[in-house]
Amino acid sequence: MHTLISIDTVRGPFVREIEEISGQNLLACNQCGMCSAGCPVASAMDMLPSQVIRLAQLGMEEALTAGGRGDTTVWLCASCLACATRCPKGVDLPRVMEALRQIQLRRGAVRMDLDALPPQLARALPQVAIVGAYRKYLK
């Protein structure tokens, strides 16, 4: 099922929630693509960061949450800030990505199963990496 673009989606609760959590004005983005051009993780993403913010502007919740085309981008984003430093419009895209993750976590999505982590790997990984992932992927 696809969500139709309408005034109800563009000015809907999903867009307001993203803007409230991120503190960003989504409509400030003019789709120049500078963020995507500088993103070090873009090659692994199903959708470019600039496409994610476009869908966020339009309130395309289905595409940006679990199972949607933008979902991998939201979770692969490493919060490296490269896009934020390149954006000519002053959009802090990592905050938008974090808001999209928070929205899913608040709705009960769990992105990391600690019990599925092999004990050998758990012993080998730096503790800070596990704690960092725990904070990012669990509510």
- Footprint of ligand SF4 on this chain (CB under 6 A)? 29-35, 38-39, 41, 49-50, 53, 77-83, 86-87, 89, 91, 93-94, 97
Closer residue to ligand SF4 (CB): 6 or 30: 30
Closer residue to ligand SF4 (CB): 104 or 122: 104
Task: Give the shortest CB-28-to-ligand SF4 separation in angstroms.
Answer: 7
Residue 19 near residue 25, CB atoms below 8 Å: yes
* Residue found by looking up tokens 């199903």 in the block: 46
- Give the C-alpha separation, 5 to 13, whole Å: 14
Task: Give the shortest CB-74-to-ligand SF4 separation in angstroms.
Answer: 9
Nearest to 50 by CA among 19, 89, 11: 89
Task: Give the shortest CB-22-to-ligand SF4 separation in angstroms.
Answer: 12
Q: Which residues contact 71 (CB under 8 A, 6 or more apart)?
A: 46, 64, 65
15 token code pair: 């867009």
What does the chain come to in residues?
139
Closer residue to ligand SF4 (CB): 59 or 94: 94
Task: Give the shortest CB-87-to-ligand SF4 separation in angstroms.
Answer: 3
Nearest to 51 by CA among 105, 97, 106: 97
